Amino acid sequence: MALSLELQRIYSSAPTNTPFYEGLVLNHPSWPEPVAIITNTVVETTKNVNGEPILFHPSNFQVVLPKRDDLGLVQLSINFPIVTRNMMELIELAESARTPIQAILLIYIDGSDDSQLTPVELQLDQIAVTEEQVTGVATRVDLLNKVFPRTIVRPDNYPGLYR
């Protein structure tokens, strides 16, 4: 995940006069259109996602930094403290289709319409709904920590192993 020099400067020095915005684009085959939300603002704004302008709606979501589990997966938790009725209907559509929700995580700085890091594409697999919030666990395969061998070698698959 490549960060721009400007975002590296913001993360390292934490200036109070340069705000940054976390953006999240959620998409599912059963939804009529993607849902794009952005933090740290109260107005709708248009930003570029992979070269295409998308309208982001303000939302107060929180991204919890990823942790690596024993299976070699990186898990990123996304918490939504307030979810609209429309969003709940979309979540129910996705759950009934039994396919994961695609999520793209982006970070923008004030004055730029382009993401300041390489877009991170994830799958929102586990969704938990409570009275206070909706939490989703986004994962992607950790390419550096794969289990080897990738397949289990069995005599059924490899007849030459029989003696």
How far from chain centre, in Å, is Cα 121?
6
Residue 37 has pLDDT above 80, yes or no: yes
**Long-range contacts from 141-148, C-beta under 8 angstroms, 24+ separation:** 141/72, 141/73, 142/68, 142/72, 142/73, 142/74, 145/68, 145/72, 146/72, 147/71, 147/72
pTM: predicted TM-score of the whole model, two decimal places = 0.73
- Cα(110)–Cα(90) distance, integer angstroms: 30
68-88 per-position pLDDT tens digit = 666 656 677 888 887 778 878
Q: Residue ranges of the alpha helices (H) in the chain? A: 5-13, 85-97
Distance CA 15, CA 97 (A): 44
For the chain, the straight-line distance linking the first and the last C-alpha, in angstroms and rounded, comes to 48
Number of other CB atoms surrounding residue 110 within 10 Å:
12
Name the amino acid, one letter, at 55: L
In the chain, where the domains are located? 5-161
Q: Which pLDDT tens digit goes with each residue over 83-135?
A: 778 878 888 888 887 788 888 888 888 888 888 888 878 888 788 887 778 88
